[in-house]
Structure 1
Amino acid sequence: MLRTPVDGTRLRILTLLRERDATADGLTAQAVAARLALPHPAALTHLRLLTALGLLRTDGSGARVRYRRDEARIAEVARLFEKGW
């Protein structure tokens, strides 16, 4: 969970998914890739890792998977870091 890419891609994805148009329905990997000018495979890799960490939730299947932030889990992780964990 603590591994962070040097370029901040995962943080950029989490920030993007906080935007108004992404919060309700989420975004597909293709949309994330397009908005952040990333190759689709790279965006998908980051999204899958964030999902495995529990920071994102998914809806749909196949190419229609949409990613949304899990605000409760993100808050939990933030509290751990605030405590100096």
Structure 2
Amino acid sequence: MTSRSENVESVLRALASDRRLLILEWLKRPRAHFRAQVDGDLVRDGVCGVLIAEKLGVSQPTVSEHLKILTRAGLLTTKRVKQWTFYKRDETRIARMKAAIVEKI
């Protein structure tokens, strides 16, 4: 099990990228930032990685790496629908990490 300090460090490393910050910002209001998806609801299920790559203007492998970092830091949750992976913000975890960061300052 990792300590709270290691968790905060992991989150700060994940947030050290403008692209990852953009992804988190877009996922806060997915209907405002992404077109409708064939499978899955943007809010309930999350946003397909393909749509995130498209909006970010990067390749699938590049966005996959960003999404993996955000997921490992606990900032995103994933859901599989058919062959697609959908991503949404983990608002509870984000709130806990915000509080932990403020506590460290």
TM range, smaller chain: 0.7 to 0.9
Distance 1:65 1:80 in 2: 29
Q: What is the distance in 2 between the residues matched to 1:23 and 1:78?
A: 22
* 2:24 aligned residue (14, 17, 20): 14
Structure 2 unpaired stretches of 5+? 1-9, 32-41
1:43 to 1:77, Cα distance in 2 relative to 1, 3 A? same
Query: What are the ranges of 5 or more consecutive residues in structure 1 without an aligned counterpart?
Result: none
The counterpart of 2:99, out of the listed 79, 82, 85, is 79
Provide the identity percentage. 33
SS of equivalent residue, structure 1 residue 24: coil
Q: Give the distance between the partners of 1:53 and 1:62, measured in 2 at CA.
A: 25
User: 4+ residue runs of structure 1 moved beyond 3 angstroms?
Assistant: none
Q: Deviation string for 1:33-80 (max 9, x for gaps)?
A: 111212221111010111111111111167411001000000011111
Partner secondary structure for residue 23 of structure 1: coil
Equivalent position of 1:58 in the other structure: 78
Q: How many residue pairs were aligned?
A: 83
Rg larger for? 2
Equivalent residue in structure 1 for 2:67, among 47, 62, 84 = 47
8 A contact 1:23–1:69 mirrored in 2: no
